A and B are shown apart, each in its own frame.
Chain A
Amino acid sequence: MKKPNTQPALHKVIMVGSGGVGKSALTLQFMYDEFVEDYEPTKADSYRKRVVLDGEEVQIDILDTAGQEDYAAIRDNYFRSGEGFLCVFSITEDDSFQATQEFRDQILRVKNDENIPFLLVGNKSDLDEKRKVSVFESCSRAATWGVPYVETSAKTRSNVDKVFYDLMREIRSRKIEDNKPGNSRGKDKSKRKKLKCVIL
């Protein structure tokens, strides 16, 4: 029999966000260090990678979901399996930013957990000249949710690793906390990292 402890910890990350905001591009950049120019809508793809997180070998399981509206009804099943969420929007498209609220709501409903590891990601930061969503706007939304906000660029690979690693750290600390017996939910709210706004 295989011993479970020999298997590195598995963190399940789910990419959510409207269609065309660059979820797959971020994932592929993280996975294979390549930027795919061609756009082909994703249905649901799963990736797995071994990475070293703060000196510890872990596995990341990335579920890249479909952003298209017609899949909204069946997203619940994806979200249930997630331990952490990267909620991506394009800073060049206000609709995608507005849609993040809907994703957030759905995730909270499915997971029934206010403190689920969650990052708000503004992608396509390389296209700053086409920016439609201001940093202030994004930061304040992230602040109301109590989550960090990070701007990334799948094309230049800026902050790509950061969002995945930050999320994994949150998932990991969350798991450690959950395993501690008798800790209250109210406590970890106060312990939560200070919200920061990373724009680069």
Chain B
Amino acid sequence: MADIADLKIGSSDFNPDKYVRELSQRCVGGQELQQQYQKIQSLGEDTSAQLKRNVYQNYTQFIETAKEISHLESEMYQLSHLLTEQRSLLAALASTSLLGGTNAGAATGGESSTDVTAEPEKQFQIEDEERRRKLTAALEKVEGCVDLIESPARSVIHEGDLLELDPTEGTAMQRMHAFLFNDGLLLAPWIPNRRGPARYKFQTLIELGSFAAVNVRDMGSVKTAFKLLAFPDTRLFQCTSNQSKKEWLEKFEAAKKAALAQEQPKRQESVATSETSPVRSSSVDSSSGMNPFEDNCAVSSPDIAELPEWLLELPEDLDVCIAQRHFEDAYALLQKANQFTFPTSKDPQLLDIRRKVDGRGRALIEVLMKELEVSPDKSLQGGLRAARRAVRLLNQLGRSSQACDLFLKLCSSILKAQLRRVKREGATVVYVKHLGGIFFSNMMDMASEFLRAFPNSPSCASALVVWAGSELTHLTSHLVKQVFMPQSPISTLSECVVTIRTQCDQLTSLGIDLRYQLDGLLRSPLQRALSDARDKAVEAVKLRAVEDKWRPTNLGNKDALTKFVMETGLSPNHMQKYVQGESWIVLSASTVAFTRQYLSLLEDCLRLCTTELAHTVDQVLTDVFGAQLSHVEVNLQSDKLGNPEKSFIQKNAAFLLSELLPLVTKTYQERLNNPCQTLEVLKTKFSWMKPADGDGGEPSPAPAPAKRPTPLPRTTAPRPAPTKYSTVTEYI
């Protein structure tokens, strides 16, 4: 009820009015309504408690997050501090080295101002240094633009603070500091919480040729502003005053004009371009050297030319291949690299490549191993087939043992997943059959897959064997837990074990024989189960003995009689002398029951029997049979029973000793190919019980078990039957 209410109230289309109406309709009398009211109230309390808990949980989470963030923040500060130090160090280094080199590049520096050529050389140098100093000082304040100082011809024309406005709405966006160079405009927003010398953060450098400045007529909130058209963006900047705006626009124009004026002579003079291009390229090189993300092999260019191009690109290509999961290509590249005979020279370039390639090789192996690794979030859907590729490549890379290890781990988890799917329902035998079927068929697949993947490698094969053994141990321990319980009958057990054994034998076709191990693992539980069975059987014999009336048994009808005879497995001829009329058998109920029980026990024991278990099986068979015989013996020797009864008992004893026991020993011999000694002992021990009277032919089959008894001696048997019959009928 409460659940239904929960569901209803929790649903998205919950309508309180409707709910209350329904409730009041359904409920009869105030009592019930009161109950409902209480229910709803308790629901409400629950909900509020839950809400509180959730809030609390979120709150703690929030606190944790905040802590984490502050931690991160402090780390970032440290990092930024470190970076700033590095940067200033590098800047210092760069400026010293460049100052040394300016004399040589002085001629190109003339571009910065047009009238400089007329000036004496010395003054130019001073001016240049002044320019450089100004530039460095200016850029000191901007974070992340160290390489801008490098450009030898760059100088600051104008700088100032601007406020960037939203170009469509005219609302303030961010404070900017702008530098106008002779070749571009640098925009750098203010750093809100600045640390260190940098006040602005480099945002962009727009080339002078690719933007246009436009005066913006004052309009509403947008005053003293100008626009920057840098396709495709349009940016709006507000100056502090009309004066500063005018200045900016003038400077823009002047810079553009100067650049134009500079362009034109260059166009006419082809020599001039060749003069400037080395400057450009050298600046590019030095800046790329500063870039930590670029491979530093690009820096020392002259040596590289001798090496083939593919080799130089190899590390990058390998990276790409690995990233795109083209593992085969990566392997091929690695092979190619390995086949390439590296010159023995100590060329650092080559060593570098060699080192890198080795690193990529390791990375490839790592990725492939990852591929094979079992992790809970990885789907096992693809099965082993999906692992083939990685295994093959790892094999090729000479990592067979790792691959084999990972492969087997993968197998284990697949197997586990498969077995977990098997639900225990219905009969134990069906379950075991199913489980074993899955286990061994998977095992077959895995083993064949394994042999396919790792052919001709003894070490891997041994790993497989070990693995199979351990998996089998898992399975059997599971089975022992599931199946070998005191209450499970021995017949079920024997059927299970036989099933498992036959399934296990399938593996021999692949050269894996786990049978011995299986038997070994099952031995002690089986021993236990067998002795349990024995105890049970002996118990049953004793119980029956108490109730034994020593009368012939009526099996009800002819069919039942025939069935019993069939069950015993004795030839009808032999049984003839024990059969009376349509449905009577001249054996006591206990003997009949024992015969049935013992034959099924025999069957189970023989099915279970292995060389190691033979002793236990013998013991069981002998003990149970012995128990029955002693029961007969006790009765035979008892004084309470009269002569006719004794003769009937003797008849029973005769059946047990000359019919059942030979049959048992015969079956035993046939199935296990060796006689059962203990049963023989039993036979001799109790042979005195056989009736010595009228049936003189009886003792003759005594040695029969060994020689396979023939029906011949028993031809005389039917003769005494009528007499027996007459005596027995008296008791009925």
Contacts and interface: CB of A to CB of B under 8 A. Distances in A.
Interface of A: 2, 7, 10, 31, 43-49, 59, 63, 70, 73-74, 77-78, 80-81
Nearest to A42: B215
B214 A47 contact: no
Interface in B208-265: 209-217, 219, 222, 227, 229-232, 234, 249, 253, 256-257, 260
Nearest to B231: A80
Given A48-B219, A77-B231, A63 B169 contact: no
Given A2-B169, A10-B168, A74-B212, A46 B231 contact: no
A47 B217 contact: yes
B217 A74 contact: no
Contact of A44 (B209, B215, B219, B234): B215
Given A2-B169, A43-B249, A46-B227, A77 B210 contact: yes
A64 B472 CA distance: 88
B169 A78 contact: no
Contact of A45 (B209, B212, B215, B260): B215
Contacts of B217: 31, 45-47
Contact of B168 (A7, A43, A63): A7
Contacts of B229: 63, 77-78, 80-81
Contacts, number: 54
A68 B525 CA distance: 107
A44 B213 contact: yes
Contacts of B249: 43
A47 B170 CA distance: 13
Contact of A47 (B169, B219, B256): B219
Question: Interface residue tally of chain B, by bracket?
Answer: 20 to 34
Interface centre among B169, B212, B230 (most CB of A within 10 A): B212
B260 A43 contact: no
Nearest to A77: B212
Interface string B271-311: 00000000000000000000000000000000000000000
A44 B216 CA distance: 8
A74 B214 contact: no
Interface centre among B168, B213, B253 (most CB of A within 10 A): B168
Interface centre among B215, B253, B260 (most CB of A within 10 A): B215
5 contacts: A10-B168, A63-B214, A63-B229, A77-B209, A81-B231
A46 B215 contact: yes
Nearest to B250: A43
Contact of B234 (A45, A59, A81): A81
Contacts of B210: 77
A44 B256 contact: no
Given A81-B229, A81-B231, A44 B168 contact: no
A9 to B, nearest CB: 10
A80 B209 CA distance: 13
Contacts of B213: 44
Contacts of B227: 46
A100 B234 CA distance: 26
A49 B219 CA distance: 8
Contacts of A48: 216, 219, 222
Contacts of B169: 2, 7
A41 to B, nearest CB: 12
Given A78-B229, A80-B231, A45 B219 contact: no
Contacts of B230: 77
B212 A46 contact: no
A189 B213 CA distance: 34
Given A7-B168, A46-B227, A78 B214 contact: yes
B216 A45 contact: yes
A63 B215 CA distance: 9
Interface in B49-80: none
Q: Which 8 A-B pairs give the minimum distances between C-beta atoms?
A: A77-B212, A80-B231, A44-B214, A46-B216, A81-B229, A46-B214, A45-B215, A47-B217
B115 to A, nearest CB: 20
Contacts of A81: 229, 231-232, 234
A140 B210 CA distance: 35
A47 B35 CA distance: 75
Given A7-B168, A44-B215, 20 more contacts: A43-B253, A44-B212, A44-B213, A45-B215, A45-B216, A46-B215, A46-B216, A46-B227, A47-B216, A47-B217, A47-B219, A63-B214, A63-B229, A77-B210, A77-B211, A77-B230, A78-B229, A80-B229, A80-B232, A81-B234
A143 to B, nearest CB: 31
Nearest to A2: B169
A128 B227 CA distance: 37
Contacts of B214: 44-46, 63, 78
Contacts of B234: 81
Contacts of B257: 70
A73 B260 contact: yes
B215 A43 contact: yes
A49 B222 CA distance: 12
A7 B212 CA distance: 25
Nearest to B171: A2
Nearest to B253: A43
Contacts of A44: 212-215
Contacts of A47: 216-217, 219
Contacts of B231: 77, 80-81
A7 B167 CA distance: 12
Nearest to B227: A46
A81 B217 CA distance: 18
Nearest to A48: B219
A39 B557 CA distance: 137
